[in-house]
Structure 1
Amino acid sequence: MRIIHTSDWHLGQHFYGKSRAPEHQQFLNWLIEQSKSQQIDAIIVAGDIFDTGTPPSYAREMYFDFIAKLHQTHCQLVVLAGNHDSVAMLTESQKILQQLSTRVISAVSDNMAEQVFVLNSLKTEQQAVICAIPFIRPRDIVKSYAGQSANQKQRSLQQAITEHYQVLFEQAQGLSQLNQADGTRLPIIATGHLTTIGASTSESVRDIYIGTLEAFPASEFPAADYIALGHIHRPQKVTKSEHIRYSGSPIALSFDEANTQKSIVIAEFNNGELSNTELCNLPCFQPLAMVKTHLETLSEDITRVVESKNIELKNEDSSIAESPSAESSSVEAKITHDERPGQEKIWLDIEIESAEYLQDLSVRIEQIVKALPVEVLLVRRSKKSRQQMPSHEKKVTLSELSVQEVFDARMALEPWDSDEQQQRKTRLNSLYLTIAEQTQLANSSKQSLSEHSEAHSSSTSKTEQK
């Protein structure tokens, strides 16, 4: 059996005012082509299908359209909810999507059969047992008691997560050997959407505090044949293990991921165990670049980075055209790559090492990039430069700070010495993350309503014209 492991699509994301819809659509087209050319039996999406719990209508349409097209290829789909996803939204379409070869696991369930099941290939006689674990919310698996310290809560939560994995894994082991009269077993594929200790994160990853647990030890995972993880956007092995992996996001979700090669994982199973894993690199659908510079070398550094990025993109086009697998999927893959919207425009983040605040900086940058194939989305001083400014001279604009940085700056003013103060800090962190998520959901709802209103107005206008 051959499966694709992917995660963290974040459909519906807006990036400094820019829609990622064209990139996401090209990725989904590319993924369907890969499922055909690589003879894939199933695709596992390990969480964060959407960027918010109330994604815009076009993102939902993209999701359902992908499922319908994938169903026609006889490739199955397993969708796990992440911390960005709405349990209610994913649950509402669960039953109907089962008719389209899609299993959606939106939350931890008391019904074990919803999380542990045998996946039968629609193309071959191959089978695998899926131990499907979505993003775990503390209320789903543990009860808190008054008087518990932060350390006690952390230990009890880690133990509850470990036990949840173990209970499901034992059920999976039973299914793995059931009906296998020849003594063989079915491979067990587990999932997860969380941070493991030692994982390399990026700016776009929102910290998950499952209660008070910041990271889960990889040693506590059960002995599954493959563990497909989501939440971390950089592709990586966990504890250098071939069988425990983050697939990473399919597109760069922050500028510090600009030079990260995005990929999917193709895992192959034979004779009841993992036989091979390989990374399949994605084409870059929208180039991003960071320019770290000084005022004195601003023009030279911007030009150098842009020229380097253009060479990189040309080399990538050549490698796609010459790829051995291009014969089967070259037509659509090459077309979508060459016609990507904004190919001529590289999105730039310019970070300047300077403690000075120059009012004419935007004008200077505008003149520099005037003849270059770029669009500047962000201009800011480096964090180090801002910190080195004397407090009485600091002129930091909100545009240079993330919401997280504003919150962290305020928290830094408080003493956190005693256990009681540490508990208060934990509660405030949890409250902040809740409010941030609610605000994001509210903004997304406004965006959806605005798009719906524009679509309705356009439809009404066309009707009147007729």
Structure 2
Amino acid sequence: MKILHTADWHIGKKLYKKDLYQDFDLFIEWLCSLVKTERIEVILVSGDIYDISNPSSEARSQYYRTLLALRDLKCKIIITGGNHDSPSVLNAPKEILKQLDIDVIGGLPEQINDTLIPIKNELGKVEAVVAAIPFIRDADLRNMGDAHDYDSRLIAIREGITAVFKEASDLCALHYEGIPAIAMGHLYAAGVSTSESEREIQIGNLASFEADNFGDYFSYVALGHIHKPQQLTTSIPTYYSGSPLPLSFSESQDLKRVLIFDLEDHAVTSVEIPVFRKLIRIKGELEHIKQKLQSLEVQTGLNSFIEIELQSVQHDANLIYELDQLVSQFECSGYEIVKQKISFSEKAPAMTDFYQVEQELENLSPQDVFLKLLEKSTFEPEMKNEIISSFQEILEEVNQGN
């Protein structure tokens, strides 16, 4: 029996206000093909199904279409909630989904026994059991009431999470003796490498969970929350599958993947996910950015998203204007600039740099302040005259309005 592990779908995610619905559809199309080729019998999705707790109707529709596409492949599907998910939203259709052989556990049940899901073969024999543990919220932990300060809260969270996994493994051993057990989890483990797109979890990630606390009973631990795929150093196979799509520009170089766990020999296979859309970061001075944009070659498929960061030493209004012009005039088939920003290593001059300390700003006219600022700019004389003229027109309109 082959079990596929994925997580952090973040359906409905926007990258700088750009929808990623097409990207996710392409991922699911690829995933369905992989399931057929590898004859996958179980799919585990370890949390953060949606990007926000109250997803849009379009995001919910894509989620249900995805489940139907996977269900048509005759797979057992187990889904747990993440820190981005609302347990009530995920749990709402769970009884209907259960009839389609799709188990959903949006939040931690009162009885840990309810997280145990047996996996049966075609003959009805239980071949494995999954402890489908979702994101554990502070309110789920029984010992949190004893925590009265910051340090005791950290200890209580770590001990509480450890206790949940310990109880789950004990119940697996009690009710499914001799049958391989797999745990699902959605948490921040100590020592992992993160990206810019993960939301902090449980006191700013300080309550990190030691991987050894999963114990040594489970045959495999399928984790979610961290978007960069990685294996934890522990006595049992413990993996973050990572997100299937890059969800921030910091993930643009990550090799996205799903994992396949073979129940027969306990082998773990990493399968790389194709890149459906490139994320390109361009940093440097203006000329460097121009050269990089001019060197782009026309491409087909989903538009590549570009993030530009102009870097300069001193604050220069001309550079801001030139970058705006460069971005507004950029045209290259297959590419789209979705973010531009400017960083100056030297702080921009403040008003106190322009006037003597004894001068009060309230004693100066708006035009005095504006002209003083303009004196320090690097605009050409002709441009300065145009700016002054525009400012005077705006000032007149404001005065007339008063």
What interval of TM-score do these two structures reach, taking the shorter chain for normalisation?
0.7 to 0.9
Task: Give the TM-score taking structure 2 as reference length.
Answer: 0.80
> Which residue identity lines up with residue 193 of structure 1 in the other structure?
H
- Could you say which residue in structure 1 is the equivalent of 2:201? 208
Q: Is 1:186 matched up with 2:176?
A: no
1:154·1:212 contact (CA, 8 Å) conserved in 2? Answer: no
- Could you say which residue in structure 2 is the equivalent of 1:2? 2
1:392 Cα offset (Å): 3.1
Q: Is 1:107 matched up with 2:101?
A: no
Matches within 5 A, 1:56-455: 56-122=56-122, 127-145=127-145, 148-177=148-177, 185-209=178-202, 213-223=206-216, 224-239=218-233, 243-270=237-264, 275-304=266-295, 306=296, 343=301, 345-355=303-313, 356-357=315-316, 358-367=320-329, 369-371=330-332, 373-382=334-343, 385=344, 388-389=346-347, 392=350
> Which residue identity lines up with residue 250 of structure 1 in the other structure?
P
1:81·1:134 contact (CA, 8 Å) conserved in 2? Answer: yes
- Could you say which residue in structure 2 is the equivalent of 1:316? none
Number of residue pairs matched? 347
Deviation per CA, 1:249-293: give whole Å up to 9, x if none: 1111001111211110011111xxx52111111111222111122
2:277·2:302 contact (CA, 8 Å) conserved in 1? Answer: no
1:242·1:277 contact (CA, 8 Å) conserved in 2? Answer: no
1:366 Cα offset (Å): 3.7
2:84, 2:174 → 1: CA distance? 32
Deviation per CA, 1:183-221: give whole Å up to 9, x if none: xx2211101111111111111111112598431111211
Task: Look up the SS of the partner of 2:48 in the other structure.
Answer: coil
- Identity, % of aligned pairs? 31
Distance 1:150 1:14, change over 3 A: same
Task: Look up the SS of the partner of 1:353 in the other structure.
Answer: strand
Distance 1:211 1:113, change over 3 A: farther
1:164 Cα offset (Å): 1.2
Distance 1:2 1:371, change over 3 A: closer
Distance 1:195 1:24, change over 3 A: same
Distance 1:297 1:245, change over 3 A: same
> Which residue identity lines up with residue 303 of structure 2 in the other structure?
K
1:7·1:49 contact (CA, 8 Å) conserved in 2? Answer: yes
Task: Give the TM-score taking structure 1 as reference length.
Answer: 0.69
1:118·1:175 contact (CA, 8 Å) conserved in 2? Answer: no
Deviation per CA, 1:345-380: give whole Å up to 9, x if none: 31100122224352331102344x324631100011
1:240 Cα offset (Å): 7.0
Distance 1:380 1:211, change over 3 A: closer
> Which residue identity lines up with residue 293 of structure 2 in the other structure?
I
> Which residue identity lines up with residue 373 of structure 1 in the other structure?
G
> Which residue identity lines up with residue 53 of structure 1 in the other structure?
S
Q: With CA pairs under 8 Å and 6+ residues apart, which has the higher RCO, 1 or 2?
A: 1
> Which residue identity lines up with residue 376 of structure 1 in the other structure?
I
- Could you say which residue in structure 1 is the equivalent of 2:54? 54
> Which residue identity lines up with residue 321 of structure 2 in the other structure?
Q
Task: Look up the SS of the partner of 1:291 in the other structure.
Answer: strand
1:71 Cα offset (Å): 2.1
2:123, 2:325 → 1: CA distance? 59
Unaligned runs of 5+ residues in structure 2 are: 353-402
1:3·1:42 contact (CA, 8 Å) conserved in 2? Answer: yes
1:131, 1:155 → 2: CA distance? 24
1:168, 1:236 → 2: CA distance? 24
1:147, 1:156 → 2: CA distance? 7
Structure with greater proportional helix content: 1
1:359, 1:123 → 2: CA distance? 70
After the TM superposition, list the runs of 4 or more consecutive aligned residues in structure 1 that deviate by more than 6 angstroms: none
1:74·1:123 contact (CA, 8 Å) conserved in 2? Answer: no
Task: Look up the SS of the partner of 2:309 in the other structure.
Answer: strand
1:136·1:210 contact (CA, 8 Å) conserved in 2? Answer: no
1:173, 1:228 → 2: CA distance? 19
Task: Look up the SS of the partner of 1:256 in the other structure.
Answer: helix
Deviation per CA, 1:358-412: give whole Å up to 9, x if none: 2331102344x32463110001135xx46x4257389xxxxxxxxxxxxxxxxxx
Distance 1:371 1:160, change over 3 A: closer
> Which residue identity lines up with residue 301 of structure 1 in the other structure?
K
Task: Look up the SS of the partner of 1:278 in the other structure.
Answer: strand
> Which residue identity lines up with residue 235 of structure 1 in the other structure?
P
Task: Look up the SS of the partner of 1:275 in the other structure.
Answer: coil
> Which residue identity lines up with residue 215 of structure 1 in the other structure?
S
Task: Look up the SS of the partner of 2:321 in the other structure.
Answer: coil
Deviation per CA, 1:285-340: give whole Å up to 9, x if none: 22211112222322123345x45x96xxxxxxxxxxxxxxxxxxxxxxxxxxxxxx
Task: Look up the SS of the partner of 2:24 in the other structure.
Answer: helix
Distance 1:123 1:299, change over 3 A: farther
1:238 Cα offset (Å): 1.1
RMSD: 2.5
Deviation per CA, 1:155-175: give whole Å up to 9, x if none: 122111111110111001223
